[in-house]
Amino acid sequence: MTSTNPTLDLAGGASAPPAGPRPARRSSARAAETRRKWYEIIGLTTPAVIVYVMFVLVPMGFAFYYSLFRWRGVGPPTDYVGFDNYVLAFQDPIFLDALRNNAIIVFGSLLIQGPIALGVALLLNRNFRGRTVFRLLAFVPYVLAEVTVGIMWKLLLSDAGTINAMLESLGLGGLVQAWLADLDVVIWTLLAVLTWKYVGFAIILLLAGLSNVPQELNEAAAIDGASWWQIQRHVTLPLLGPTIRIWMFLSMIGSLQVFDVIWVTSVPAVRSLGASATMATYMVDNGFFARLWGYGNAVAVILFAISFVAAVLFQRFLLRRDIEGAITRRAN
């Protein structure tokens, strides 16, 4: 006689329970979890995407559109000139001077601010009395408003300002200069002002990077007989490499787009000759004050293109290793 119990087989032993719809349930649960994650991603990124499109992509599109016209900002643009505004920009010696000045500021910031910030950060990373006060003093110029910095240095560097008066009192009258009016000196003067303003940011950034260097490595190197300089050169600096490259990237982009400190500190007559102009100040002078809106938009597009290409090349050749390392560590 065959057993009527569904859990028993013909021999009277226990049989496996029916499989049921469990795989289908697990697949449905995974699909629901995936949909939920996508809904979260869409919900969290949509506001940022909308803001980015409205305040970045749309203005960029309008800037490129208006750059194709000879337009003075009154009425709709109708005088289509194609890429003539771009050609005129690269034929203008004042714009070429502004481009050269931006290059001087970029390389000058990297070659001057970098070593100063690194040396000061290494010193401030050591334990000594008053270290917190010195860190605060190093960061103070960076938190000052750019307009404040520009006005302050414009007064200090004027012909009858404090800098020249100090040189005269020290018997160094031969060094007295028209710091903001001499066509050969003004760009280097502005580079010094920018260094004073922004070196504090580099110091704080490098100090943050130094705080992530394991002290055990320094102690192990010291036990092996390495000097302080050898420890910094062979242990600290290689581990500080990603932070240095991030600072270089930020400094490069900021130097290409620098405007406010240059605008406030420089003399308009000297700037109009190109000696103290940058691409950003040239854009405002010609686009806003000269009311050449189409031409000004062309300069803005050129500035964006140069900054974009520089950022892509920097990330491709210098930041790629750091980014790939971060992704690898995250995947592991």
Q: Name all contacts of 110-115 with Cβ < 8 Å and 24+ positions apart.
A: 110/248, 110/251, 110/252, 112/191, 112/195, 113/195, 113/198, 113/199, 113/202, 113/251, 114/202, 114/244, 114/247, 114/248, 114/251
**Amino acid code (one letter) for 126:** R
Average pLDDT score over the chain: 85
Least confident range from 39-43, 56-60, 226-230: namely: 226-230
pLDDT above 60 (res 208): yes
Q: How confident is the model at residue 322 (pLDDT cuts 50, 70, 90)?
A: low
**Which 3 state secondary structure label does DSSP give 14?**
strand
Homologous superfamily (CATH) for 84-325: MetI-like (1.10.3720.10)
* Sequence-distant (≥ 6) Cβ neighbours of residue 293 within 8 angstroms: 66, 71, 72, 73, 287
| pLDDT tens for each residue of 51-107 | 999 998 899 999 999 999 988 877 788 788 989 999 999 999 999 999 999 999 999
Distance CA 208, CA 132 (A): 14
Q: How far is CA 34 from the centre of its chain?
A: 35
Q: How far is CA 173 from the centre of its chain?
A: 40
Task: Note the pLDDT of residue 17.
Answer: 53
pLDDT above 60 (res 168): yes
* Sequence-distant (≥ 6) Cβ neighbours of residue 259 within 8 angstroms: 278, 280, 281, 284
Least confident range from 224-233, 252-261, 266-275, 315-324: namely: 315-324
**For range 213-238, the mean pLDDT:** 84
- Tokens in use for 49? 């995407």
Distance CA 86, CA 43 (A): 41
Token pair 């100063």 is found at: 116
- Tokens in use for 140? 């103070």
Rg (CA), the chain: 31
Q: Cβ(276)–Cβ(187) under 8 Å?
A: yes
Distance CA 281, CA 260 (A): 8
* Sequence-distant (≥ 6) Cβ neighbours of residue 268 within 8 angstroms: none
Closest CA to 319 of 248, 214, 230: 248
Q: Could you tell me which residue, 154 or 22, shows the higher pLDDT?
A: 154
Q: Cβ(157)–Cβ(246) under 8 Å?
A: no
Distance CA 295, CA 287 (A): 6
**Which 3 state secondary structure label does DSSP give 126?**
coil
Task: Note the pLDDT of residue 253.
Answer: 93
- Tokens in use for 44? 């969290």
- Tokens in use for 258? 């620098």
| pLDDT tens for each residue of 175-198 | 888 889 889 999 999 999 999 999
Please tell me what DSSP assigns to residue 81.
-
Element (H, E) at 98: helix 93-108
Percent of the chain predicted with pLDDT > 90: 46
List, in sequence order, every residue forming a beta bridge with 80; answer none if it has no partner.
69
Model pTM score: 0.81
Name the segment(s) of the chain with CATH classification 1.10.3720.10. Answer: 84-325
Give the chain's end-to-end CA distance (angstroms, integer). Answer: 60
Closest CA to 305 of 95, 52, 60, 62: 60
pLDDT above 60 (res 19): no
Question: Interhelix angle for 237-256 vs 293-314, to 10°?
Answer: 170
φ and ψ of 206, to 5 deg: -70, -35
Angle at 205 between CA 203 and CA 208, to 5 degrees: 110
Task: Note the pLDDT of residue 8.
Answer: 44
